[in-house]
Amino acid sequence: MDERVYIFDTTLRDGEQSPGVSLNVNEKVEIARQLTRLGVDIIEAGFPVASPGDFAAVKVTAAEVKGATVAALARTEKEDIDRAWEAVRDAESPRIHTFIATSDIHLRHKLRLSREEVLEAAVAAVKHACRYLSDVEFSAEDAFRSDHDYLCRVIEAVIEAGATTVNIPDTVGYATPQEFHDFVKGIFQQVPNIDRAVLSVHCHNDLGLAVTNSLAAIQAGARQVECTINGIGERAGNAALEEIVMALYARHSFYGKKTAIRTEEIYRTSKLVSKLTGMKIQPNKAIVGQNAFAHESGIHQDGVLKERLTYEIMNPALIGRSLNTIVLGKHSGRHAFRDTLASLGYELAKEEMNRVFQRFKILTDRKQELTDKDLRAIVEEEILRVPEVYRLAYLHISSGTTVVPTATIGLEKEGRQVEEAACGDGPVDAIYRAIDKITGFPCTLVSYAIDALTAGKDALGEVTAKVRSNSTATVYTGRGVSPDILEASARAYINAINRIIHGDNGGKSPDRPRASL
């Protein structure tokens, strides 16, 4: 029987530490739900002591998500552990993940503690967490750069204190694959009670080696890997879940290990995370990039047409890259609509279903046939909607090669319609200036990106606008979808402003710094 490798997903914690990324509670829960569909074993939902927003996200995820262990991160301070327990206690299967750095560089410059003090803090934290629950993970931050004998002493002591998983991160992405393999092997050889815990690894990608190092660790005996969807995370990110899982799957003959991941959910999960974080996927990214299965050269195309295996080591369907099928059109009724959404995995409450159906009907007047991607886009936009202080009522644009771009826009606010007009360097600039005149909000557009959701001239356009509130310097991500890209642009900007008003960024704010890692 193949040995199992446990997949610990930290998209919602380490992934959310990516610069410029902030997810609100609903978005985090939506991602957590998708992670359970994907079949991850453990979801690290956040760092509860860091901010009230983080706490709320972990608490709601723990209560709502079934089928995976929900972990909360905590430093070794009692207050952190108490807060982590408070956040995960309602989970079907809760875990507390406590950590402290063990490298001399961190001890000397960051913690200003001696090795003995760190060892005592680690043991005390694990014992304290064990008073609440039996599933306790300990991480030795910057493990790879720690003194090996000392690290082994810490690992032995925390296992003795009750830790059931011990994680050894390469926090700064410094290791090379052979070194990391030998490092893990060395721990198995030197820690006498290592068989009483699951050994886990957590690799950062500063040298582009996070996935390779994780796989090398699995070969050396690690049985849990910590990773994120699309490899997002601090600096250059974490090990990409989809790459580790597919390497184990496609090269099973080499690794001989299995995971519980439902690979056909990979693509959808990747898309959802990219959309909600606003972090685009590079086209040549392995597994989930737009070009990952595209064959450009004539020789390759010819080979694939004759026999796929000539140039394709995986079938794209295996990771859920469907052929964008037409699912519904103008004449589809409510019944067919509900059934189709259910087949795509959406169970909506009555009120949500009404809203999404209304939106669908408006869209089919403008676009004859809607694909699964189109449907997902409107469902996700509607169910993740923040309370709308401002809502788009109408938009009129005058633009072209010989006219000054001008936008006239009407927004609804508290049942009243407010109108403004503005000129700009281009039509989007004109729209945003007109909106600024209405809201009077001091904010700055930080980035703007547009994607066509499907092929074809009538594709829906999806705009992601990152907008900084000038008063708090916090960046909020707004999204808008429409067959008209100028309307999508307006919707994205209004969505970002509604988020600013709602303070809807998961608690990330330079004014309220998170507890540092």
Provide the binding-site residues for Zn ion, judged by CB under 5 A: 14
User: What CA–CA distances, in Å, run from 514 to 31, 51, 52, 153, 198?
Assistant: 22, 6, 10, 31, 30
- Minimum CB–partner distance for residue 204 and ligand KIV (Å): 6
**How does strand 326-329 pair with strand 369-371?**
antiparallel
Cβ atoms of 84 and 94 within 8 Å: the answer is no
Assess 48 for contact with ligand KIV (CB under 6 A).
no
Distance CA 269, CA 288 (A): 10
Near ligand KIV in 7-46, by CB under 6 A: 14
Distance CA 294, CA 173 (A): 31
Binding window for ligand KIV (CB under 6 A); candidates: 166-174, 311-319, 408-416, 472-480: 166-174
Distance CA 110, CA 103 (A): 10
Among 165, 171, 263, 469, binds ligand KIV (CB under 6 A): 171
Distance CA 352, CA 358 (A): 10
Nearest to Zn ion of 204, 268 (CB atom): 204
Strand partners, 123: none
- Minimum CB–partner distance for residue 332 and Zn ion (Å): 46
- DSSP character at residue 289: S
Binding flags for ligand KIV, 307-346, as an x/- string (CB under 6 A): ----------------------------------------
Binding window for ligand KIV (CB under 6 A); candidates: 165-173, 239-247, 310-318, 487-495: 165-173
Binding window for ligand KIV (CB under 6 A); candidates: 163-171, 265-273, 373-381, 394-402: 163-171
- Minimum CB–partner distance for residue 363 and Zn ion (Å): 41
Nearest to ligand KIV of 141, 243 (CB atom): 141
- Minimum CB–partner distance for residue 8 and ligand KIV (Å): 10
Assess 99 for contact with ligand KIV (CB under 6 A).
yes
The percent helix, strand, coil of the chain (3-state, each to 5) is: 45, 20, 35
Distance CA 293, CA 272 (A): 20
Strand partners, 132: none
Nearest to Zn ion of 234, 487 (CB atom): 234
Cβ atoms of 275 and 235 within 8 Å: the answer is no
Binding window for ligand KIV (CB under 6 A); candidates: 80-88, 114-122, 164-172, 415-423: 164-172
Name the CA radius of gyration of the chain, rounded: 25
Distance CA 224, CA 214 (A): 9
Q: Which amino acid is at 457?
A: K
- Minimum CB–partner distance for residue 291 and ligand KIV (Å): 30
Distance CA 280, CA 479 (A): 13
Size of the site for ligand KIV (CB under 6 A): 10
Among 128, 145, 202, 367, binds ligand KIV (CB under 6 A): 202
Q: Which of the listed partners (ligand KIV, Zn ion, none) does 286 bind, with a CB threshold of 5 to 8 Å by partner kind?
A: none
- Minimum CB–partner distance for residue 367 and ligand KIV (Å): 43
- Minimum CB–partner distance for residue 139 and ligand KIV (Å): 4
Distance CA 127, CA 160 (A): 9
Q: Which of the listed partners (ligand KIV, Zn ion, none) does 113 bind, with a CB threshold of 5 to 8 Å by partner kind?
A: none
The residue of the chain with the least Cβ separation from Zn ion equals: 14
Binding flags for ligand KIV, 272-301, as an x/- string (CB under 6 A): ------------------------------
Residues 6+ apart with CB under 8 A from 380: 30, 272, 275
Among 389, 418, 446, 517, binds ligand KIV (CB under 6 A): 517
Cβ atoms of 421 and 408 within 8 Å: the answer is yes
Among 139, 439, 464, 509, binds ligand KIV (CB under 6 A): 139
- Minimum CB–partner distance for residue 76 and ligand KIV (Å): 11
Q: Could you give the 3-state DSSP secondary structure of residue 477?
A: strand
Tokens standing for 465? 């606008």
- Minimum CB–partner distance for residue 479 and ligand KIV (Å): 28
Tokens standing for 497? 């402003």
- Closest by CA to 199, choosing from 176, 183, 210, is 183
Q: Enumerate binding residues for ligand KIV (CB under 6 A).
A: 14, 99, 139, 141, 167, 169, 171, 202, 204, 517
